[in-house]
Amino acid sequence: MKKLILFLAIVLLVFFSWWFFIKVGMFPNNAQPAKQNMNIHSITLEENSFHSNGFKIEIDRTGDVNYEKYKIMFKEGEDRILSTSDTNINSAEWEQLTELINQNNFWSLDDRYEDKSILDGTSYVLTIGGLPSSADPTLSDLSIKSVYCYATCPDYMRVVISSIEEIANIN
């Protein structure tokens, strides 16, 4: 009988531990998970504001920066693109940006951060393409990760977003 009670106690402890980590999450808010460095090949940031304008910034490893500001379309036939611009960053700026992304653990972030209580927030989608830093860069084993934020983003992701906006000169 004692063995049965001990067995049931262990099963209950394991079940509630599992449930806690699933429900609450492995990391408290803004706790940084373990770092995983990647050789980054491309960066894309999209912002959409509710009933407003949005933008898309694309940066590739050659230093090309493409910026497109657009209108959120509500009527058929409206001109979606408001303005575009192209610029370049040097290799030092690219290295600084990719280091910032790796330091802020982008690869360990959840795929979605959302505050559903806010109905008219701004959403961001940050998409990064890269290879593990130990991988041969000639391989076609490119990994792509996107993180979506609506009305709330982890602090360490906001740092990356601000840096990308600064590079595109839209602040």
Identify the pLDDT of residue 18: 60
List, in order of start, the domains of the chain with CATH numbers: 38-167 (3.30.1560.10)
Would you say the pTM of this structure is higher than 0.75? no
* H or E segment to which residue 22 belongs: helix 2-24
pLDDT above 80 (res 69): yes
- Please, which pLDDT band fits residue 149 given cuts at 50, 70 and 90? very high
* H or E segment to which residue 33 belongs: none
Identify the pLDDT of residue 137: 53
Give one DSSP letter per residue of 69-133, joined into a string: EEEPP-STT---EEEEEEEE--HHHHHHHHHHHHHTTGGGS-SEEE-TT-SS-EEEEEEEEEEET
pLDDT above 80 (res 68): yes
- pLDDT, one tens digit per residue, over 80-138 is 777 788 888 999 999 999 999 988 888 888 999 988 888 777 899 999 988 766 555 55
